[in-house]
Structure 1
């Protein structure tokens, strides 16, 4: 008798860390639903990679800053799962979608602050709220935060403040979602070589070297340092890990 694959939903899964999360979850034998903001071509490539592994995948367009689209998105997910799996439920939710903002506190505009709030706190809050009824028991939620909630670099206050709030929300989710025994944890990446922040860590050799020198393992992070940890948290291997902040940063600023 074939065991039915569990299902993970990843926001922002077409590139960077999100893409590696999708592929890492598929490698663990999960089927994956993920969202992309505007690049359908790249999203389709990720779907093809997952299908090549023998797992199911589908991508939906979602701009997490547009909160009035969430109900329609949830309906799409429900209909897809009902048609292809026989019920509208899934197992794991990874709140990953987002982007950075670089403005010092004295220069931060209200528009920037509102945007960071909408994307990094309000979206995970409301998406989790709307999707919770369709999560299976003994599932898990992983909220993606940042090492910048523990250490401070000039200019990241708008972004890091919302990630700090997300970390607090994670504890409350873990407390309130016990009715379904859903574990909720937060993963905080350190500096990673992606296009985040305009690709500064990846492309600025001086910044890359500075961060590497401040990191116990002697380098900056790369994309595949993160996805496998998300996959671990979305597995029975992490069945007793709950309400925790796990920083994946190679030991920066210790």
Structure 2
């Protein structure tokens, strides 16, 4: 059975990825930082549809917690899916910060770095022994790495670093049969950075070839496909899921 771990799986794009994987028959381990109620709601939704999911707490910005988290994952694998290994890892957890470069503090910079680049690097390192041969990793990046948007310089810079890291992971993990790709969502209707008001959504839609903003499920389905054998010959790629944002 395929077992996929998704960080930040309690809401938004992460929750949609968890649900899309469950629909494909994956067992799901999803993480949350504080909102256990939201995480439990996703677990119940998967269970009500006949799937199996477990929620575990994780702060992706705290590398020192990763050894304990790996032990938690090993325990869950042993009790819920005996003899199972992770067949998928999705580095999705993140948050938005909208400040021009002139006003970004060092603490804000470090917080974004820890969650969006340092965290995925060392979490993947920690979980690598639990990944099965032929497993797949998907790193969630952002269309802001391609389209410069005032106010998101640190966020976009670290997401750009994650795109580069994706290629290096693909190169180094390839001999184990592990595929690594990244997915870059464009404007998506989520709570990230406070969500979209009507005026902002209209402005973003006007810059998108398909004339609207995206929905989390439209990203989730692409990620689930990349984790599956449907994409078995795809690695080291960045897939932008944006409806043609600023072509």
Which bracket does the TM-score occupy, shorter chain normalised?
Answer: over 0.9
Q: Is the 8 A contact 1:10 1:34 kept in 2?
A: yes
TM-score, length of structure 2 as denominator length: 0.98
Match of 1:97 in 2: 93
The equivalent position to 2:156 in structure 1, one of 160, 178, 200, is 160
The equivalent position to 1:223 in structure 2, one of 216, 221, 238, is 216
Runs of 4+ in 1 over 3 A off after TM superposition: none
Deviation per CA, 1:109-155: give whole Å up to 9, x if none: 11111111100001100000011111001110000000000001101
CA distance in structure 2 between the partners assigned to 1:174 and 1:224 by the alignment: 26
The equivalent position to 2:37 in structure 1, one of 41, 66, 75, is 41
Match of 1:194 in 2: 190
CA distance in structure 1 between the partners assigned to 2:140 and 2:179 by the alignment: 14
Match of 1:17 in 2: 13
What number of residue pairs does the alignment pair up?
247
Q: Which runs of 5+ in 1 are unaligned?
A: none
Match of 2:119 in 1: 123
CA RMSD of the aligned region, Å? 0.9
Pairwise CA distance, 1:86 = 2.5
Describe how 1:1-254 pairs up with structure 2 within 5 A.
5-87=1-83, 89-199=85-195, 201=196, 204-254=197-247
Label 1:84 to 1:205 Cα distance change in 2 as closer, same or farther (>3 A): closer
Deviation per CA, 1:152-195: give whole Å up to 9, x if none: 11011010000000000000000000131100000000011111
Q: Which runs of 5+ in 2 are unaligned?
A: none
Q: Is the 8 A contact 1:11 1:94 kept in 2?
A: yes
Pairwise CA distance, 1:84 = 2.8
CA distance in structure 1 between the partners assigned to 2:184 and 2:15 by the alignment: 16
Pairwise CA distance, 1:107 = 1.5
CA distance in structure 2 between the partners assigned to 1:161 and 1:7 by the alignment: 31
Please, which moves more after superposition, 36-45 or 119-128?
Answer: 36-45
Q: Is the 8 A contact 2:14 2:92 kept in 1?
A: yes
